[in-house]
Structure 1
Amino acid sequence: MITIIARCSARAGRAEELVQLAGNLVDSSRKEEGNVSYDFYADAADPAKFTFIEVWKDQAAIDFHNATPHFQGFVEKAGPLFAGPLDVALYRKLS
């Protein structure tokens, strides 16, 4: 399994739009065959900071996900809402 942690910040006044787009992405992504879990979190101290935590069966599932219309649509629509680049890291569970 592979865990993805993606952190982002919304531009001033755009957080609610990002939350709505992310909700659609999460709902669709959870239905994918290779998805183990897919969650979206708001920072408790800063309402403009968010974190996606995703767990996928394998790299092939991630590749499939990245090519889906719901993911591609999210990337296109959410890009202007981000205050800066996403911080994305992939992890493999060791124990």
Structure 2
Amino acid sequence: MSEVAVVAIFVAKPGKEEELKQVLEANVEPTRKERGALQYDLHRDNEEPRRFIFVERWESQDALDAHGRAPHIQAFRAKAPALCEHGEVRKATKLL
């Protein structure tokens, strides 16, 4: 299977920046330990501090699908509506 790249962007609701940051940070180490996780890095936008960006690389779509079922990701999804104004996930398949 082909490697999958993901860019996930979450914009915090006004006043929820630090709470969202903590919730997102809590996902980093458990995700890095998942089978098939090649890269899972959290960034904060330099121009818009409410915007957080994950840059991810997965061995395969199956690995990414398993990540979506992980308990810590399910917990994040339950909290996200109260913390996020906007969320967007883009997937790409590595060509070279």
RMSD: 0.9
What SS is found at the alignment partner of 2:40?
A: strand
Unmatched segments (≥5 aa) in structure 1? none
1:31 aligns with 2:64: no
Alignment correspondent of 2:88: 87
Superposed counterparts of 1:45-64, under 5 Å: 45-64=47-66
Letter in 2 for 1:16: E
What SS is found at the alignment partner of 2:34?
A: coil
Alignment correspondent of 1:19: 21
Counterpart-to-counterpart distance in 2, 1:23 and 1:88: 17
Unmatched segments (≥5 aa) in structure 2? none
Conserved? CA contact 1:10–1:83, under 8 Å? yes
Q: How many residues align?
A: 94
Letter in 1 for 2:53: T
Structure 1 ranges of 4+ moved more than 6 A: none
Shift of residue 6, structure 1, vs aligned partner: 1.0
Counterpart-to-counterpart distance in 2, 1:74 and 1:26: 12
More strand by share: 2
Percentage identity across aligned positions? 36
1:70 aligns with 2:72: yes
